[in-house]
Amino acid sequence: MTKLLLPRANAREAGAVEGVEILGAETPGEVLEHLSGECAIGPTRLNIARLLERPPARQPDLSEVRGQQFAKRALEIAAAGGHNLLLIGPPGPGKTMLARRLPGILPPLTVAESIDITKVHSVAGLVPAGGALVAQRPFRSPHHTASDAGLVGGGAISRPGEVSLAHHSVLFLDELPEYRRSVLEALRQPMEDGVVTHSRARSTLQYPARFMRAAAMNPCPCGLYGVEGDRCTCDPAAVARYRSRVSGPLWDRIDLHIEVPAVLVEDLRATGSAEPSINRVTAARERQHRRFRRTPDVGANSHMGPREIRRWCALDDASARILGQAMIRLALSARAHDRVLKVARTIADLGGADRLSTHHVGEAIQYRLLDRSRIG
């Protein structure tokens, strides 16, 4: 197929496809005139590279955040390796604000990523009339009343859900324990496989879902568990019930568990400084692109399977000893063990290191907050 005649409103979007001449018509009369040779319709041309090179609309960035150095470091690691992230802390210190800054530190979209995202958004009817490619990474933040179909897609006429609309970008779940358990459990398969499959009696559809999952939650129902001053009104059983709304297997699939404490007054008054996070993140992603250039299904460290982990996350004796001790002390699962190695690989990439060392592994273990809290 070398030529397509489409509604004019869809012509620029279709123009992203190479090797096909796109003709956009407004009315059936225009189509008849073109086919009869009375008035030919000119082709629609789209310069994809120029479209993606345009200065993007300003996105929130980390330079606006006061304090929270530990959380900002964790966001940088998550963005650099495509890792899942959980922010846990009392109301008010900026968990949601931090998560909303993730797209702003992710590298610019490549042409292939932009086309992938546009395909999903087009199926969902989210590309505006006359629009072309989606040129910025989307930030999807569904409300906690979202249904299973709203999150992972489906319905009588199968449509992409939030996990697919967040493809190559960020899905943020605020107040994580408030989501229905069945909705959260539906996330497990796409988080592992990077795709969502909808099986129907007459057809099977598959949508991409390679997304970063960021989430935020309070430490307990009143939100003040662990806050200085012992103001929490929840008994231990209430705290346990609250956290048990999210299953253990889902906790296990989160790479970084980050505590976000209340911000100190002196930090609020401090002068902000430019954050070069996007530069470091982009450099780390470029290292991963070179590393995985012959592994098409792996685009970032978080996508590595057992074979890639064995090859790229080899440990020396001292690092292996530290990880082994953490496995015993924190009762880490085999999945958590591999996720620690993936995060350590990303930390090394941010530092420009080829091999993992003890401080890369040690820092990765520090981001297993919920595993530590089960022991303490």
pLDDT of the residue at 272 = 56
Coil, helix or strand at residue 300: coil
Closest by CA position to 139, among listed 173, 183, 180: 173
Residue 246 buriedness (CB in 10 A; 0-12 / 13-18 / 19+):
buried
Q: How many CA atoms lie within 13 Å of 70's alpha carbon, on the beta-carbon side?
A: 18
pLDDT confidence of residue 376: 38
Residue 149 neighbours by CB distance under 10 Å = 16
What's the rounded mean pLDDT across residues 113-128? Answer: 89
pLDDT of res. 375: 37
b/e sequence 212-222, b meaning 16+ C-beta within 10 Å: bbbbbbbbbeb
Residues comprising the chain, all counted: 376
115 or 61, which is more confident? 115
Nearest to 210 by CA among 197, 188, 194, 198: 194
Compute the average pLDDT of residues 274-282.
Answer: 77
Q: Could you tell me which residues come within 8 angstroms of residue 95 by beta carbon, excluding any fewer than 6 positions away?
A: 87, 88, 89, 174, 216, 260
**pLDDT for 368:** 86
Task: Provide the pLDDT for residue 371.
Answer: 66
Q: pTM, whole model, 2 decimals?
A: 0.88
Output the CA–CA distances (angstroms, integers) from residue 72 to 189, 271, 293, 332, in the order listed: 28, 16, 29, 25
Q: For residues 264 and 308, what is the distance between their CA atoms, to the nearest angstrom?
A: 42
List of domains in the chain:
3-46 (no CATH), 60-268 (3.40.50.300), 277-375 (no CATH)
CB 111 within 8 A of CB 135: no
pLDDT score for 109: 86
**Would you tell me the crossing angle of helices 358-366 and 334-350 to the nearest 10 degrees?**
120
| pLDDT value of position 189 | 87
User: pLDDT of 332-371, one tens digit each?
Assistant: 889 999 999 999 999 999 999 999 999 999 999 999 877 6
Average pLDDT, the chain: 87
Residue 170 above 60 pLDDT?
Answer: yes
For 14-44, the pLDDT digits (tens) are 888 888 899 999 999 999 998 888 888 888 8
Strand order in the sheet with 170-173: 139-140, 170-173, 212-217, 85-88, 256-259
Q: pLDDT tens digits for 206-227?
A: 899 999 999 999 989 988 887 7
Cβ-contact 51, 224 below 8 angstroms = no
**Residue 156 confidence class, pLDDT cut points 50, 70, 90:** confident
Confidence of residue 290 (pLDDT cuts 50, 70, 90): very high
